């Protein structure tokens, strides 16, 4: 299930952060009840909206701790600088999504977390006016990357992407199977 919520966590003060994490937890539990499902684990995503640096691990840990306190099992996915930086890791998936899209050489094999404005790169350098990249395209690029089986072989690096992959592995191995065990 997916819950869209514009609430900001990364720049909230300690008290506000705890309250917002509680609100998110309440919404997730209510949604699970409505769907007659058990709440296994929750992934919460937010963009850092800034290039990778010292602030990334500090912010990530602070919000992760608050979410873990509010929910029994949670992951905080903080993309650096934003989701588009992840898309730049998969040039073949970009071209599979729209055949005219090409990742220019200067953005290949890079730490895409250091790029200031990956969305602009997607809009102006990868795509063209013929078929301009839109934020709603991101899911399809990821789906193409999954189909190409290249999620674990990105063409560059981005430690927020590596973190997401580590979280997904941890979740699949430790969080979800526990929920499937008969009680």
Query: Rule CB under 5 A: which residues touch Zn ion?
Result: 41, 73, 171, 175
| Minimum CB distance to Zn ion, residue 172 (Å) | 8
CB of 11: closest distance to Zn ion in angstroms? 24
Nearest in space to 109 (alpha carbons), one of 151, 150, 153, 156: 156
Q: Length of the chain, please?
A: 183
Q: Which two tokens stand for residue 40?
A: 């296994």
Give min distance, CB of 41 to Zn ion, in A.
3
For residues 86 and 160, what is the distance between their CA atoms, to the nearest angstrom? 8
Nearest approach, Cβ of residue 182 and Zn ion (Å) = 20
Helix (H) or strand (E) holding 47: strand 42-47
DSSP-based three-state secondary structure for 177:
helix
Q: Indicate the residue among 73 and 95 with the shorter CB distance to Zn ion.
A: 73
Output 67 or 80, the one with its CB closest to Zn ion: 67
* Smallest separation (angstroms) from Zn ion to the CB of 78: 15
> Which of 41/67 has CB closer to Zn ion?
41
Nearer Cβ to Zn ion (73/114): 73
How far apart are the C-alpha atoms of 53 and 1, rounded to whole Å? 32
Q: Which is nearer to Zn ion, 41 or 115 (CB)?
A: 41
The conformation of residue 49, written as its DSSP 8-state character, comes to -
Nearest CA-CA partner of 103 in 92, 119, 116:
92
């Amino acid at each position: 299930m997916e819950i869209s919520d514009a609430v900001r966590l990364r720049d909230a003060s300690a008290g506000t952060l705890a309250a917002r994490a509680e609100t998110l937890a309440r919404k997730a539990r209510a949604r699970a009840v409505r769907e007659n499902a058990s709440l296994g684990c929750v992934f919460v995503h937010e963009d850092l909206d800034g290039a990778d640096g010292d602030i990334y691990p500090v912010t990530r840990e602070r919000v992760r701790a608050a979410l873990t306190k509010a929910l029994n099992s949670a992951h905080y996915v903080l993309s650096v600088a934003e989701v588009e930086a992840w898309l730049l890791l998969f040039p073949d998936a970009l071209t599979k999504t729209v055949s005219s899209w090409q990742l220019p050489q200067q953005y290949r094999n890079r730490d895409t977390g250091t790029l200031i404005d990956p969305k602009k790169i997607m809009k102006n350098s990868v795509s063209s006016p013929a078929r301009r990249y839109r934020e709603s395209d991101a899911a399809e690029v990821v789906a193409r990357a999954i189909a190409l089986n290249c999620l674990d072989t990105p063409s560059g690096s981005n430690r927020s992407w590596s973190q997401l992959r580590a979280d997904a592995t941890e979740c699949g191995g430790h969080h979800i199977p526990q929920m499937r065990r008969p009680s």
